[in-house]
């Protein structure tokens, strides 16, 4: 097995293109569109909400091209952590990768908590008398169960994920099929008066909120980049998995959004007492095929929610491990399970924060959690990674890049604009919740933690900048295509 930079060979490259794409799509789809369609309708005030999903797709594609180039050139464990470490070490030492890990320890489990919130929402369709306390208990039990499922070797999880991905595809296809067998074009495409007015400030506030929800639904196209050290032929597999998953989910979301709006009146989605506001896919199935099929597909949606959280936590738990082993984060996170070879403390910490995020969302609302996690993510990961592509091209022109971004720098500019719109309108989209202030406070806490850590470790600014270029000689740690062994069957 090829070793990672620095001679470490703990992770094994056993995940191929099909499994990598399944991992991405399971994380991207999951419960997201089934719970956010009503939120998107509320943001836009009508069925023109499809604009939000289209805008999210454009931003996901632009940002996905950034992930594709960086992931192919630097295919190690940790994703953004690795890219920011390589790009910004020349001026600020280990500050940027440390801050990324710090923020990822919050926004990744918050993202996973929304899947558990959606799970409990749809369970409410099957269990209409479920109390708030019972729902809280179920969500916490699901969170603990997912951590237990991840307490094993990655190859076993990859096989399980393919099964869960199949269930996810089946649930989405059934909802889309039910929607288009009872589709009303008039219901789907009759917009309220003045629905789209680009000169109105109200429209742009709704657009920013919709863009945030849209990109939240697409998040997960980067899951395989976090697991770069476990991907076979990463220079080819990572870009293909990223782009294929975005294009596939884009088609699914558009069909799902338009089909749902053609069956369920959008006004029902705004009524908190309506099934359509909390379990819109179940409402579609019930209207189209009756209660029995709706119950059956709701069960599949619950499995899909578990698949989404499982894959997200699987990838995210690798981030603090790799940072700790590279002496960029607290050393306690740099330990693998002695038998199953997974990061123990990273998994447990994110599991606890995921439970906390679930309780936060249950006692506020889902939109609050989405706005908070997106604001934290944008501030360090998204904006810094846009800059990292340019910095690495200038600093390390000789770095082997199996994939180079199409139409550079246009995708970077599109991504930068989209992320700035999301962050700039965050407070307006979540009035009274102050996601910008909370995100700044979390980053400020990270700066304090970095100062304490750097002083203890005698790193910059309390010591010299220690620079180490991963893959310096022109190539990822894998055999070249002409001499690479045959891929194992998926």
Distance CA 400, CA 380 (A): 26
Distance CA 116, CA 30 (A): 10
For each of the chain's 490 residues, which pLDDT tens digit applies?
333 333 344 567 878 898 889 878 877 877 888 899 999 999 998 899 999 999 999 999 999 999 999 999 998 877 888 899 899 998 899 999 999 999 999 998 999 999 999 999 999 999 999 999 999 999 999 999 999 888 776 656 666 767 777 887 888 899 999 999 999 999 988 888 777 888 787 788 889 999 999 999 998 898 888 788 888 889 999 999 999 999 998 998 899 999 999 999 999 999 988 999 999 999 999 999 999 999 999 999 998 888 778 877 877 787 788 788 888 898 888 888 777 677 888 899 999 999 999 999 998 888 889 999 999 999 899 999 999 999 999 999 989 999 999 999 999 999 999 999 999 999 988 888 899 999 999 999 999 999 999 998 999 999 888 877 766 544 444 444 433 333 333 3
Using CA of residue 244, residue 250, residue 253, residue 254, what is the dihedral sign?
negative
Distance CA 72, CA 114 (A): 29
Q: Which residue has the tokens 């994920």?
A: 161
What are the residues whose beta carbons fall under 8 Å from the beta carbon of 93, sequence distance 6 or more?
Answer: 454, 459, 460, 461, 465, 466
Q: What is the DSSP string of 373-410?
A: HHHHHIIIIIHHHHHHHHHHHHH-TTS--SS--TTTTH
Measured between its terminal Cα atoms, the distance across the chain in Å is 17
Residue 343 CB: number of other CB atoms within 10 A? 26
What are the residues whose beta carbons fall under 8 Å from the beta carbon of 335, sequence distance 6 or more?
Answer: 321, 343, 344, 345
Structure tokens at 432: 């009274």
What are the residues whose beta carbons fall under 8 Å from the beta carbon of 252, sequence distance 6 or more?
Answer: 29, 33, 172, 176
Structure tokens at 11: 């992770």
pTM to 2 decimal places: 0.85
Distance CA 139, CA 359 (A): 8
What are the residue ranges spanned by the domains of the chain?
17-457
Residue 384 CB: number of other CB atoms within 10 A? 21
Looking at domain 17-457, which CATH architecture does it have?
Up-down Bundle (1.20)
SS3 at position 336:
strand
């Amino acid at each position: 097995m090829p070793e990672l930079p620095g001679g470490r060979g703990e992770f094994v490259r056993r995940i191929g293109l099909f499994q990598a794409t399944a991992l991405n799509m399971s994380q991207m789809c999951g419960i997201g569109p089934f719970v956010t369609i009503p939120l998107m309708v509320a943001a836009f005030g009508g069925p023109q909400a499809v604009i939000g999903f289209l805008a999210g797709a454009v931003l996901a594609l632009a940002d996905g091209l950034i992930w594709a180039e960086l992931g192919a050139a630097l295919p190690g464990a940790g994703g953004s952590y690795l890219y920011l470490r390589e790009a910004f070490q020349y001026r600020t030492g280990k500050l940027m990768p440390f801050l990324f890990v710090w923020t990822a320890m919050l926004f990744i489990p918050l993202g996973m908590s929304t899947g558990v919130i959606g799970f409990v929402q749809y369970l409410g369709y099957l269990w209409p008398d479920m109390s708030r306390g019972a729902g809280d208990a179920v969500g916490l039990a699901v969170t603990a169960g997912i951590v237990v499922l991840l307490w094993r070797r990655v190859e076993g999880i990859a096989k399980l994920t393919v099964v869960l991905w199949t269930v996810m595809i089946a649930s989405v296809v059934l909802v889309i099929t039910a929607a288009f067998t009872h589709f009303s074009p008039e219901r789907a495409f009759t917009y309220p008066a003045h629905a789209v007015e680009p000169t109105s400030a109200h429209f742009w506030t709704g657009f920013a909120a919709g863009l945030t929800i849209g990109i939240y639904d697409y998040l997960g196209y980067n899951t395989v980049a976090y697991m770069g050290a476990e991907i076979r032929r990463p220079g080819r597999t990572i870009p293909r998995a990223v782009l294929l998953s975005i294009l596939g989910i884009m088609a699914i979301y558009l069909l799902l959004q338009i089909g749902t709006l053609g069956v369920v009146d959008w006004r029902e989605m705004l009524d908190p007492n309506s099934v359509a506001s909390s379990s819109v896919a179940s409402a579609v199935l019930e209207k189209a095929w009756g209660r029995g099929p709706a119950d059956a597909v709701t069960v599949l949606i619950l499995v899909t929610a578990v698949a989404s959280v499982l894959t997200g936590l699987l990838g995210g738990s690798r981030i603090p491990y790799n940072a700790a082993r590279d002496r960029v984060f607290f050393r306690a996170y740099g330990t693998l399970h002695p038998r199953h070879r997974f990061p123990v403390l990273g998994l447990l910490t994110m599991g606890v924060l995921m439970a906390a995020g679930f309780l936060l969302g249950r006692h506020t609302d889902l939109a609050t959690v989405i706005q908070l996690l997106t604001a934290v993510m944008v501030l360090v990961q998204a904006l810094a990674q846009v800059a990292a592509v340019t910095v690495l091209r200038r600093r390390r022109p000789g770095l082997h890049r199996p994939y180079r971004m199409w139409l550079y720098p246009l995708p970077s500019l599109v991504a930068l604009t989209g992320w700035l719109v999301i962050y700039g309108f965050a407070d307006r989209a979540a009035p009274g919740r102050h996601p910008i202030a909370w995100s700044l406070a979390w980053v400020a806490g990270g700066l304090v933690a970095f100062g304490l850590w750097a002083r203890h470790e005698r790193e910059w600014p309390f010591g010299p900048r220690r620079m180490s270029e991963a893959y310096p000689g022109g190539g990822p740690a894998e055999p070249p295509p002409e001499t690479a062994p045959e891929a194992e069957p998926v």
